[in-house]
Amino acid sequence: MTSYVTNLPVIAIIVPFVMAFIIGLTGNKNLKLKKFLSLLATLISLVAVLLLIKPIMVNKNIATYWMGNWKPVEGWAIGIGLEVDALSLFVGLIIAVTCFLSSIYSIRYMERDNSLEKYYTLFLLLAGSMLGFVFTGDLFNMYVMLEIMTFAAVALTAFRNKTYKAIEAGFKYIVIGSLGSSLILIGTVLLYAQVNTLNMAQISAVIYNNDLTPVTIMALTLLLTGYAVKAFLVPCHTWPPDAHMSAPSSISMLLSGVMSKTGVYGIIRILYMLFHASGKTSLAALIITWGTITMLVGVTMALVQTDFKRLLAFHSVSQLGYIMVGLGVGLVSTNEIAVLGALGGLYHMLNHATFKCLLFLTAGAVLYTTGTTDLDKLGGLGKKMPLTTVLFMIGAAAISGIPPFNGFVSKWLIYQASYEAGYYWVTIAALLVSVMTLASFVKVGQSVFFGQRHKDYDNVKDVPWTMRIPMIILSLICVIGGLFPRFISKYLLEPTAYAMYNLGGYIEVMFGKEFVAKMFKSTVTIPEINYSYAG
């Protein structure tokens, strides 16, 4: 594992922030310029992230960059370091791709709204802060980026503030989101008081060489709870449905499909790296149980919803439960079963981002053409919106775990890993949730695209191509992810899983081999996985 010094992570983060500032300066004029700058910023960030794939995923390097060239002094970090390993890049890819697709979708979808200079400014702040969150190697800098992310998301949730529901959703978001952020801040302060550093690699090394104290255990509890709020885990799941229903669909896809992954990313960093939870069966059981409860609660609530977007929001809660189950199995040990669970959780992170973004964009297409997402008022749109209907069916099949789509592959990994780890009841629950998920989407399909069409929608047409293209791309990813799992595993998932366990390499590139030899070293080899499901 070697260090790869590059400014690509800085470019990916800073460009959206700079463009947001420029758009803010231009006022309410030159709307076409704002759209172009937003599209350009997300494209540049995407290219910068894509250029990191070969050195990090293929060549097994870790990209590093010390802000202001403030390198460690006598083995102690005094500046903010960016450190992008395969895990950071994996989540960064999800963020960069979906933000770029959302900016394309927004071109026509947002044209009927006012104050679009505020929309694009907030949109780029959200994109830049999410990338900054996953690329930083500093625990407090994660909190700073999280705050920018949260307040941008709150403002975007309440963007269509002509309805009281948008204001109410924004208020709920800021109250519960601020509570989660406060817990993260307090946990960070307690941890800093114990280890005297905020660099995550150094925190990991210091904690490894010292027994956990009551203060560090309290810090773990606070950080885990705070990030659970960001990841929509039960009982912190009540605000996302309101937020996702009220926000523009181009933002709902980011809040549900992408921003929730930053909470999961935070949990992975805390458990796998900072507190060395691999092999701690009690923590593994906690995460697995927590994920299972989240699955069941989310899908049960989704079944009774009568609003398209609100139903999708509860399914986000449910699908994040799958991810947590897989990652929980990954904590059982570092054997093949545990790594299989980690791979399943990571694969479902990727898959959830694709099919959930796709489904929110189809809901946005329905809202764009009909003006409503109320299932009781819709019906018969299939003949009027044939392409959107097909794309919805792909997304519905993927989230329900039906082969040959990507959701089936990741869910199968989670079924297999939980069963072989001895959590049979979790496997049964996960299968039941998939059946309930399919049932809810059969209801949506019948209510929106099939059944009797209301006379008000006789002249409805399918959405413009700038809205169709992002949906088509996401649907293709759903198909490719189901047909070529070995390729995705080899070049994306296995390097990411290796980064989760190989903490010695993460620390070495920041502080050198002598530091690692003196204080800490932990490695794991990814075993060969038998993809029996692929035939």
| Among 271, 504, 312, 509, CA closest to 396 | 312
* Side chain identity, residue 354: T
Query: Phi/psi at 303 (nearest 5 deg)?
Result: -65, -25
Q: Is the pLDDT of residue 255 over 50?
A: yes
Residues in the chain: 535
Q: Is the pLDDT of residue 431 over 90?
A: yes
Whole-number pLDDT of residue 342: 92
| Among 38, 89, 97, CA closest to 64 | 89
| Among 352, 334, 373, 366, CA closest to 500 | 334
3-class state of residue 271 by DSSP: helix
Mean pLDDT for the chain overall: 87
Six-digit token string for 510: 């920041």
CA dist 59 and 53 (Å) reads 9
Rg (CA), the chain: 22
Q: 16-36, pLDDT tens digit by residue?
A: 999 999 988 887 778 888 889
Would you place residue 519 in the very low, low, confident or very high pLDDT band (cuts 50, 70, 90)?
low
Six-digit token string for 18: 């700079």
Whole-number pLDDT of residue 530: 45
Six-digit token string for 428: 């049964």
Would you place residue 524 in the very low, low, confident or very high pLDDT band (cuts 50, 70, 90)?
very low
Six-digit token string for 81: 């370091």
Ramachandran category for residue 196: left, alpha or beta (phi over 0 → left; psi -120 to 50 → alpha): left
Would you place residue 528 in the very low, low, confident or very high pLDDT band (cuts 50, 70, 90)?
very low
CA dist 15 and 128 (Å) reads 8
Whole-number pLDDT of residue 335: 75
Torsion on CA atoms 93, 94, 96, 97, rounded to nearest 10: 100
Q: What is the DSSP string of 267-293?
A: HHIIIIIIS--TT-HHHHHHHHHHHHH
Would you place residue 517 in the very low, low, confident or very high pLDDT band (cuts 50, 70, 90)?
low
* Side chain identity, residue 275: F
Q: Is the pLDDT of residue 523 over 60?
A: no
CA dist 480 and 487 (Å) reads 10
Whole-number pLDDT of residue 527: 47
* Percent residues over pLDDT 70 in the chain: 94
CA dist 455 and 419 (Å) reads 50
Whether the bond into 55 is cis, omega within 30 of 0: no
| Among 357, 372, 250, CA closest to 307 | 372
Six-digit token string for 179: 């509570």
Write the CB contacts of 535 (distance below 8 Å, at least 6 apart in sequence): none
Would you place residue 514 in the very low, low, confident or very high pLDDT band (cuts 50, 70, 90)?
low
CA distances from 506 to 54, 107, 205, 512 (A): 18, 40, 10, 10
Six-digit token string for 519: 């204080």
Average pLDDT over residues 212-228: 91
Q: How far is Cα of residue 533 from the mean position of the Cα atoms in its chain?
A: 26
CA dist 186 and 219 (Å) reads 7
Six-digit token string for 149: 């992310």
Domains of the chain, by residue range, sit at: 3-534
